[in-house]
Structure 1
Amino acid sequence: MNNACEKTVLSLEKLRVFADDTPIVHGISLSVAAGETLALVGESGSGKTMTAMAALDLVPAGIRVEGRRSLGDTRLETLSHRDWENLHGRRVGIVFQEPMSALNPLHRIGRQIGEAITLHHPLRRAPLRARILELMQQVHLPRPEQLINAWPHELSGGQRQRVVIAMAIANRPELLVADEPTTALDVTVAREILSLLRELADSMGMAMLLITHDLNLVRHWADRVCVLHHGRVQETGITREVLSRPTSIYTQALIDAEPEGKPAPVPIHAPEVLSAKNLAVAFQRPRRLLQSRPAAFMALKPVSLTLHQGETLGIVGESGSGKSTLALALLRLISSSGEIWLGNTRLDALDSRALLLERRHMQIVFQDPFGALSPRMTIEDIVSEGLRFHFPELDRHAVRKRAIETLVSVGLGAEVLTRYPHEFSGGQRARIALARALILTPRILVLDEPTSSLDRTIQRQLIELLRALQHERKLSYLFISHDLSVVRAMAHRLMVLKDGEMIEHGATQEVIDQPCHAYTRQLIEAAFYRSS
């Protein structure tokens, strides 16, 4: 890390932000120097993103900003709208949280990087292409000559994030703002992205403002840290000193919120509730004109597994490893070969009607609860929908009573019944999605990245809730995640997938302590690394 920071690039003095007349950021002062990385840390709603966006005049209508803001020698609060247009993308680059939403799905990658350049520095076609390829190489995108013509959906999450970074650094900015740049990325990809950002900051002398709730990333990549809570600075200082000797109760709470503990032991004679034998999934490739059909793509190579009552099987691996494909195949939501048994019932042999009746015993909680919850339905309708489908004989009173009981079991109550998903926080929506699955009293829950977009404190609460529900209801979980710290706190056994193949399997702590495969060691190193 570069600690020899000299020139101040961004300076905020007593920054205050108001929504109408309600203060949401309370007099924040901070600075970032050239070559330095300052991390803004806090839970959702702490004011991290709002502070950065207010500093750069990127707040929505109705938001008022007060206080002194400087970028180098430029007083930002005095700039006109045209001045801001010239500054954004030229002196300041921004890497947003979700690269897919930051990229235009209708334009090829090369064109979008090119637009970031020509908006401020018009170039002829040949020099422009050369500069685009140079940027793609600079952010370590493979095969630039091919990817320059690719569409966003053809790239992996990590590759899309590298494209966004290339656009952000296209004009060699003085300041780079990275807003949760690794959310929903695999641990190895996240480490690569942060390493790339540090490399670029060091080589270009940029100041970097890193916005995140992941203290593990902060511990390794940030020179200094500023902890925010409800729009107020709790403490700030050198990262190592703040995280090893916090002076704020809130900072200590953030540090203590790292997932910990273990699930309750599985009874020795617990019955087997789910098993698969030689389960495989192949996707047919499209046939080109006048050519023979290419061989099918093996998304999941033959794998066998078992799951007992009250047990959690953790499934880990990078994007494209086959985690979600395995889960969808077990639920019979995609075609597969091999045997699937739910207790004594062979699912892959059932017709569609018989399979429908068995589905209530196997429910899934998706990664993004907001995307999985209909914005037009009340919470009562969302939670009770499955119950009404599988038990049409129940009257409205019985359905509502069951919905309330289930919501209470996940820490909510009857007062939420008439509200809509957008009125809730991420943690509350995760509980609603969980209630929708639990109302059918399933035997098995498939949890697909249920904590990926949540703050650590909310993650810890959800983990404790899931462990309590498992103990009370004797639930079995298939827990899919790329976060090994969460998996360690949840899973009895761990299965590691790579390129659709199971490469390691065993008791969770044993696999983490003594991994046999080099890929597993790489995942563990990326998940649990600490700065020296």
Structure 2
Amino acid sequence: MTGTVDKIVFSLEKLRVFAENTPLVHGVSLSIAAGETLALVGESGSGKTMTAMAALNLVPPNIRVDGRRSLGDTRLEGLSRRDWESLHGDRVGVVFQEPMSALNPLHRIGRQIGEAITLHQPLRGNALRERVLDLMKQVRLPRAEQLINAWPHELSGGQRQRVVIAMAIANRPELLIADEPTTALDVTVAREILLLLRELADSMGMAMLLITHDLNLVRRWADRICVLHRGRVQETGITREVLLHPTSVYTQSLIEAEPEGQPVPVLEQAPEVLSANDLSVVFQGPRPLLKPRPDAFVALQPVSLTLRQGETLGIVGESGSGKSTLAQALLRLVRSSGEIWLGDTRIDQLGNRALRLERRHMQIVFQDPFGALSPRMTIEDIVSEGLCFHFPELDRRALRDRVVETLSSVGLATDALARYPHEFSGGQRARIALARALILHPRILVLDEPTSSLDRTVQKQLIELLRTLQRERQLSYLFISHDLAVIRAMAHRVMVLKEGEMVEHGPTPEVIKRPRHAYTRQLIAAAFHRSD
């Protein structure tokens, strides 16, 4: 990290933001020097993104912005629309939170990077292509000559984020704003992305505003920190000093919100509720016309596992390691080979009708609760849908009673019944998705990255809720996550997957303290900042 005070690139003095007459941001002041990284930290709704976007005039017309804003020697308050258009993407680059949303799915990667250049530079033809390839190599995209013609959906999450970074730095900006740049990325990919951003900032002398709720990232990558809560600055200062000696109660609560505690003890005589023997998944693509059939892709090499009543098995690994494929195979959502036992019932040989009856004992909570909840259905209809399917004899009153009881068990009130998913926060939507799974009283819950997009404080609340439900109902969890801090707090045992192969398996404390495989050591180093 840079520790020297250099030329101030970006500053705000008493920035205030209003939606009509409602204040959203209250007098925020901050500054960033060339080559410095300032982290803007707080929970969702604290005003982090609103502060940055309002400062750069990237807000809807109904948003009013007051206060002094400067980029170098340029005062920003009085800029014309044309001036703002010239500034965005040239002197200021932005790396958005969700790269798939930031990229046009109908344009190839090379064209999108090229557009970021040609909006500000008169490059064409071979000169433009060479500049695009140079940027792709600068952000360490592999096989640049091939990927330049790829579509966004053909790239991994980390590769898409590198494309967005290439677009953001295309014109060597003075200021780079990185808005939650590693959300939902694996720890090793997140580490690579942040290392890349720091190296680019250092080599170009850029000032970087890192917007995040993850104090682990801040601790390692930011020079200074500014903590926001409900649009107000709680404290600001050198990162190490603020995190070691916080003066704000709110900052202290953020620091203490790390996943902690131990998994709920498993009863000594707890029976096995799920097991698999030599479970594997192979995907075979269709044969192209007049061409040989492509080679089959082995998504999951033979894996055997067991899960006892009241136990949590953590599944960790990078994107593409086979975590979700394993879960889908166990739930028989993808075709697989090998034995799958639900208690004493072998379900891999069941027909559709018999399998449907068993499925209520195994439920899944998906990674993105907003995407998994129908925006056209009320919360009552969403939570009761599975109950209506499996228990059609229940009348309307009985259904509502069960929904109310289940919502109460996850900490939601009855006023949620008639509302829609968009009216709830991320943490509340996670609870709704959990209620939908719990209402059938399953034996097993598959939790697929349930905390990946949540603030640490909300994560902590959800972990405590999951522990309580496990203790009360003796639920068994298959917990898929790339967050080893969450796995350490939740899982009795952990299984590490790499490229579809199980490379390590054992009690969670033992695997984290004494990892045997080099890949596991790499994951732990990225998660807990240890050296290998």
* TM-score, normalisation: structure 1: 0.99
CA deviation profile, 1:389-431 (whole Å, cap 9, x unmatched): 1001011000000000000000012111011111000000000
3-state secondary structure, aligned to 1:39: strand
Alignment of 1:32-111 (within 5 A): 32-111=32-111
Alpha-carbon shift at residue 124 of structure 1 (Å): 2.3
Alpha-carbon shift at residue 504 of structure 1 (Å): 0.3
Greater than 4 Å deviation, 4+ residue runs: none
Residue equivalent to 1:357 = 357
Residue equivalent to 2:435 = 435
Contact in 1 for aligned 2:38/2:209 (Cα 8 Å): yes
Alignment of 1:312-327 (within 5 A): 312-327=312-327
CA deviation profile, 1:269-322 (whole Å, cap 9, x unmatched): 100000000000000033234332233110000000000000000000000000
| Structure 2 CA distance for aligned equivalents of residues 352 and 266 of structure 1 | 33
Residue equivalent to 2:502 = 502
Alpha-carbon shift at residue 530 of structure 1 (Å): 6.7
| Structure 2 CA distance for aligned equivalents of residues 213 and 264 of structure 1 | 27
| Structure 2 CA distance for aligned equivalents of residues 3 and 80 of structure 1 | 35
- Identity percentage of aligned residues: 82
Alpha-carbon shift at residue 180 of structure 1 (Å): 0.1
| Structure 2 CA distance for aligned equivalents of residues 264 and 438 of structure 1 | 18
3-state secondary structure, aligned to 1:178: strand
Alpha-carbon shift at residue 42 of structure 1 (Å): 0.2
Contact in 2 for aligned 1:220/1:530 (Cα 8 Å): no
3-state secondary structure, aligned to 1:364: strand
3-state secondary structure, aligned to 1:77: coil
Alpha-carbon shift at residue 135 of structure 1 (Å): 0.4
User: Which ranges in structure 2 are unaligned for 5 or more consecutive residues?
Assistant: none
Contact in 2 for aligned 1:174/1:205 (Cα 8 Å): yes
| Structure 2 CA distance for aligned equivalents of residues 282 and 18 of structure 1 | 54
Residue equivalent to 1:180 = 180
| Structure 2 CA distance for aligned equivalents of residues 229 and 415 of structure 1 | 27
3-state secondary structure, aligned to 2:77: helix
RMSD: 0.8
| Structure 1 CA distance for aligned equivalents of residues 525 and 79 of structure 2 | 46
Q: Which residue identity does 1:61 align to in structure 2? A: P
* TM-score, normalisation: structure 2: 0.99
Q: Which residue identity does 1:74 align to in structure 2? A: T
Alpha-carbon shift at residue 360 of structure 1 (Å): 0.3
Alpha-carbon shift at residue 267 of structure 1 (Å): 1.2
Residue equivalent to 1:122 = 122
- Of 220-229 and 279-288, the range deviating more from structure 2: 279-288
| Structure 1 CA distance for aligned equivalents of residues 362 and 247 of structure 2 | 47
| Structure 2 CA distance for aligned equivalents of residues 285 and 27 of structure 1 | 57
Q: Which residue identity does 1:131 align to in structure 2? A: R
Residue equivalent to 1:378 = 378
3-state secondary structure, aligned to 1:286: coil
Residue equivalent to 2:337 = 337
3-state secondary structure, aligned to 1:44: coil
Residue equivalent to 2:192 = 192
Residue equivalent to 1:247 = 247
- Of 23-32 and 284-293, the range deviating more from structure 2: 284-293
Contact in 2 for aligned 1:5/1:35 (Cα 8 Å): no
Q: Which residue identity does 2:392 align to in structure 1? A: P
3-state secondary structure, aligned to 1:192: helix
**1:466 matched to 2:466:** yes
| Structure 1 CA distance for aligned equivalents of residues 374 and 61 of structure 2 | 27
CA deviation profile, 1:230-276 (whole Å, cap 9, x unmatched): 00000000000000111111001000000000112111210000000
| Structure 2 CA distance for aligned equivalents of residues 264 and 47 of structure 1 | 36
Q: Which residue identity does 1:198 align to in structure 2? A: R
| Structure 1 CA distance for aligned equivalents of residues 429 and 515 of structure 2 | 35
Aligned length: 531
Alpha-carbon shift at residue 120 of structure 1 (Å): 0.6
Residue equivalent to 2:261 = 261
Alpha-carbon shift at residue 61 of structure 1 (Å): 2.4
CA deviation profile, 1:377-398 (whole Å, cap 9, x unmatched): 1110000110011001011000
| Structure 2 CA distance for aligned equivalents of residues 22 and 154 of structure 1 | 43
**1:402 matched to 2:429:** no
Alpha-carbon shift at residue 193 of structure 1 (Å): 0.2
| Structure 2 CA distance for aligned equivalents of residues 344 and 271 of structure 1 | 10
Q: Which residue identity does 1:380 align to in structure 2? A: E
| Structure 2 CA distance for aligned equivalents of residues 168 and 286 of structure 1 | 38
3-state secondary structure, aligned to 1:78: coil
CA deviation profile, 1:173-192 (whole Å, cap 9, x unmatched): 00000000000000000000
Contact in 1 for aligned 2:524/2:530 (Cα 8 Å): no
| Structure 2 CA distance for aligned equivalents of residues 45 and 128 of structure 1 | 40
Alignment of 1:189-228 (within 5 A): 189-228=189-228
Q: Which residue identity does 1:476 align to in structure 2? A: S
Q: Which residue identity does 2:261 align to in structure 1? A: G
| Structure 1 CA distance for aligned equivalents of residues 368 and 295 of structure 2 | 33
